[in-house]
């Protein structure tokens, strides 16, 4: 049977779920509801992984990635490496509504946001600066650059790639397990779908780095004739597999949401068994599921669901494969 409407999102971000649900109840479209839900996480700085003041890059700046997709029209708006604007999913929505483009990045995305009336303000906080200073004060800070180590002077850093240096082992290994992107799927009473994501990406990333979250088919995907999916995890690896697109295509050919999610994870796992990744899936009749890659220290993935059956925001936990 059909159990709609449905709000489902990554992690235990219940306030986001509840906000999207009550927006729907008040008559908002799934698109407006999904935007409202993700905006709550940007304001609440969910797990420090969404919105301002989290996960500074190599230079100490927090930058944002976000996506919104209308599964009825297949319209998409996205921003990557957005600077000095807190409401990244709002800017993504503005890209969708006010341009014929899909994806704006960097300083130019910020200039567009300002044209659209979004406030320009620092995304740094005392917390993010403290995190950054602590990282800087470590000797040989783990970072995302290859081929810069070992430093013959023994000082490590600053983080410049060295032309001509043959690939050798990375000095430090960064893992993203503390990064909890919000990805949300909202399905209205008659099966209209919308999906969105918002994140501040990866700590100590190289400036200019854009993750999977704002890429349609990677961070999220929605097609009202089938269903939707949204991913979280190590975006540098995940984006190579378009897991959200894959899961939706599997559901299109009749696969149940849980199995579709698992196949998307297995595809990544085959090449990167140690990759941190998880995905949520829902079909347009309200069936839903999730999957994650089992790695040491991460064996269960929480996600939150609100539908007429639960009648509240309910946190589920799925065992990783
Ligand atoms: C990224 N996918 O920028 C995001 C991070 C994340 O759970 O989702 N972590 O790579």
Average pLDDT over residues 66-88: 98
| pLDDT of the residue at 101 | 98
For the stretch 172-231, pLDDT in tens is 556 656 668 999 999 999 999 999 999 999 999 999 999 999 999 999 999 999 999 999
User: Residue 123 is encoded by which pair of tokens?
Assistant: 């995304």
In a mutational test of the pocket of ligand 1, which residue from 205, 233, 244, 268 has the highest number of ligand atoms less than 8 Å from its CB?
A: 233
Average pLDDT over residues 240-258: 98
Cα–Cα dist 266/271, whole Å = 9
Q: In whole angstroms, what separates CA 313 from the centre of its chain?
A: 20
Active site residue 181: yes
Q: Is the CB of 58 under 6 A from ligand 1?
A: no
In a mutational test of the pocket of ligand 1, which residue from 212, 264, 303 has the highest number of ligand atoms less than 8 Å from its CB?
A: 212
Q: Tokens 């999904």 sit at which residue?
A: 34
Average pLDDT over residues 300-316: 98
Ligand 1 centre distance from Cα of residue 211 (Å): 7
Cα–Cα dist 182/53, whole Å = 16
Q: Is the CB of 212 under 6 A from ligand 1?
A: yes
Ligand 1 centre distance from Cα of residue 233 (Å): 4
For the stretch 159-188, pLDDT in tens is 566 666 665 544 455 665 666 899 999 999
Helices (H), the chain: 14-25, 30-44, 88-98, 106-115, 126-137, 235-238, 243-252, 257-271
Average pLDDT over residues 39-46: 96
Percent of the chain with pLDDT over 70: 90
Helices (H), 99-188: 106-115, 126-137
For the stretch 1-12, pLDDT in tens is 899 999 999 999
| pLDDT of the residue at 186 | 98
Task: Please pick, among 181, 197, 255, 304, the residue that the annotation labels catalytic.
Answer: 181
- Residues contacting 166, CB < 8 A, separation 6+: 147
pLDDT band of 144, cuts 50, 70, 90: confident
User: Residue 154 is encoded by which pair of tokens?
Assistant: 């023994």
- Residues contacting 240, CB < 8 A, separation 6+: 268, 271
Nearest CA to ligand 1 atom 10: 235
Using CA atoms, how far residue 167 sits from 145, 157, 175, 207, 209, in Å, is 11, 17, 20, 21, 20
Q: What angle do CA 228, 234, 237 make, to 5 degrees?
A: 90
Ligand 1 centre distance from Cα of residue 177 (Å): 9
Percent of the chain with pLDDT over 90: 83
Ligand 1 centre distance from Cα of residue 240 (Å): 13
Average pLDDT over residues 70-79: 98
Atom of ligand 1 nearest to the CA of 219: 2
Q: Model-level pTM?
A: 0.94
Average pLDDT over residues 62-82: 98
| pLDDT of the residue at 211 | 96
Q: Binding site membership for substrate: which residues?
A: 209-212, 232-235
| pLDDT of the residue at 145 | 76
């Amino acid at each position: 049977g059909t159990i709609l409407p449905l709000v489902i999102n990554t992690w235990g971000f219940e306030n986001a779920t509840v906000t999207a649900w009550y927006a729907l109840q008040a008559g908002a479209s799934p698109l407006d509801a999904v935007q409202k839900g993700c905006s709550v996480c940007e304001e609440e700085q969910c797990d420090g992984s969404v919105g301002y003041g989290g996960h500074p890059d190599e230079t100490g700046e927090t930058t944002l990635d976000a996506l919104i997709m209308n599964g009825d029209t297949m319209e998409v708006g996205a921003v990557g490496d957005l600077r000095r604007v807190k409401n990244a999913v709002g800017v993504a929505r503005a890209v969708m509504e006010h341009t014929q483009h899909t994806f704006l990045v960097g300083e130019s995305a910020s200039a567009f946001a300002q044209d659209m009336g979004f406030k320009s303000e620092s995304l740094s906080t005392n917390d993010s600066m403290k995190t950054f200073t602590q990282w800087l004060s470590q000797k040989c800070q783990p970072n995302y650059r290859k081929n810069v180590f070992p430093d013959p002077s023994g000082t490590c850093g600053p983080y410049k790639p060295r032309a001509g240096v043959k690939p050798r082992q990375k000095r430090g290994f960064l893992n993203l397990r503390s990064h909890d992107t919000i990805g949300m799927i909202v399905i209205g009473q008659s099966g209209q779908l919308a999906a969105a994501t918002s994140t501040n990406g990866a700590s100590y990333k190289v400036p200019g780095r854009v993750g999977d979250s704002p890429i349609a088919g990677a961070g999220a995907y929605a097609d009202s004739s089938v269903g939707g999916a949204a991913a979280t995890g190590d975006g540098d690896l995940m984006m190579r597999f378009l897991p959200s697109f894959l899961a939706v295509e599997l559901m299109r050919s009749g696969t149940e949401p849980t199995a579709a999610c698992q196949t998307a994870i297995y595809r990544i796992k085959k090449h990167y068994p140690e990759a941190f990744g998880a995905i949520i899936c829902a079909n347009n009749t309200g069936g839903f599921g999730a999957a994650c890659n089992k790695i040491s220290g991460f064996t269960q993935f929480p996600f939150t669901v609100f539908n007429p059956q639960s009648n509240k925001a309910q946190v589920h936990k799925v065992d990783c494969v």
